[in-house]
Amino acid sequence: MKLDEITISKGIIDIYFRDLKDSLESDVIVVGGGPAGLTAAYYLAKAGKKTVLLERALKIGGGMPGGGIMFNKIVVQESSRFILDEFDINYEEYEKGYYIASSIESTAQLTAKAAKAGAKIFNLISVEDVMIRGDQITGAVINWTAVQMANLHIDPITMRSKYLIDATGHDTEIVKIVERKIEDRLFTPTGKIMGEKSMWADNAENIIEEHTKEVYNNLFVCGMAANAAFGAPRMGPIFGGMLLSGKKVAELIIERDN
């Protein structure tokens, strides 16, 4: 078979735009393709929810591939080991209850399983605003990351969804936008973003599931964004809480949507 460059180009353009158009209306938009967002996308898609994941960066994975200070290993504790099994991630026990996995394999497996479950993953797209109707969050306003980086004055487009998940990590970017744009309070005890506290792995990991919840109408937080929104510590390169938080946010939305 003789290869034709124009067919290669047409194939990429046609299928990309088919997927992009199809993603303009969905059940759930997950903002952020770190470990929490990928885990959420997997469980949501597996449950049959139409799931779109938007990631600003070229590469998926957020803070996971870098491990701890570029040592590409992650730690997962006993309570979340079953999620490593669910994603077919290899690990070894280091000390009782401390499991070590490759951060590269973990990122790859989370991504592959989320995609194979049916989540549509778009990299290089940043969420720069949200859609709000009355007191309901109804979708995301998106632009190319390259446009933001080049500081070009180019208008964004929109995606509608029943639910939005802020899985943007330490920066809590989506909740920050919402906090600025609504007239009422967030569903945090102070009504505002409470802010991330300094490193305390045990405390942070134990509280993160409790903080994984709806933070404003139809807007949920998971992963580090959940602890940042509700004023809890960071945890460093232990990732069990991220996985459990991603699973929990999926379960909350599945329950709500039924």
Binding site for ligand 48F (CB under 6 A): 31-37, 54-57, 62-64, 126-127, 167-169, 171, 173, 223-225, 234-235, 237-239, 242
Pairing relationship of beta strands 214-216 and 157-166 according to DSSP bridges: unpaired
Distance of closest approach, residue 225 Cβ to ligand 48F, in angstroms:
6
Complex with ligand 48F: residue 139 or 169, whichever CB lies closer:
169
Could you give the CA distance from residue 120 to residue 60 in angstroms, rounded to a whole number?
Answer: 13
| 140: exposed, middle or buried (Cβ count in 10 Å: 0-12, 13-18, 19+) | buried
Q: Determine contact, residues 120/53, Cβ cutoff 8 Å.
A: yes
Q: List Cα–Cα distances, 34 to 26, 85, 121, 122, 174, in angstroms.
A: 20, 18, 12, 13, 15
Distance of closest approach, residue 9 Cβ to ligand 48F, in angstroms:
27
Torsions phi, psi for 240 (to 5 deg): -60, -40
Q: How far apart are the first and last CA of the chain?
A: 49
Task: Return the residue matching tokens 């949200």.
Answer: 130
Complex with ligand 48F: residue 52 or 235, whichever CB lies closer:
235
Complex with ligand 48F: residue 159 or 186, whichever CB lies closer:
159
Distance of closest approach, residue 18 Cβ to ligand 48F, in angstroms:
22
Distance of closest approach, residue 7 Cβ to ligand 48F, in angstroms:
32
Pairing relationship of beta strands 219-221 and 157-166 according to DSSP bridges: parallel
Question: Token pair for residue 100?
Answer: 């070590």
Complex with ligand 48F: residue 186 or 204, whichever CB lies closer:
204
Specify the DSSP class assigned to residue 76: E
Complex with ligand 48F: residue 193 or 225, whichever CB lies closer:
225
The three-class DSSP label of residue 167 is: coil
Could you give the CA distance from residue 117 to residue 108 in angstroms, rounded to a whole number?
Answer: 14
Distance of closest approach, residue 258 Cβ to ligand 48F, in angstroms:
25
Distance of closest approach, residue 242 Cβ to ligand 48F, in angstroms:
5
Distance of closest approach, residue 8 Cβ to ligand 48F, in angstroms:
28
Complex with ligand 48F: residue 14 or 202, whichever CB lies closer:
202
Q: List Cα–Cα distances, 41 to 32, 73, 113, in angstroms.
A: 10, 23, 9
Complex with ligand 48F: residue 8 or 157, whichever CB lies closer:
157
Q: Determine contact, residues 29/142, Cβ cutoff 8 Å.
A: no
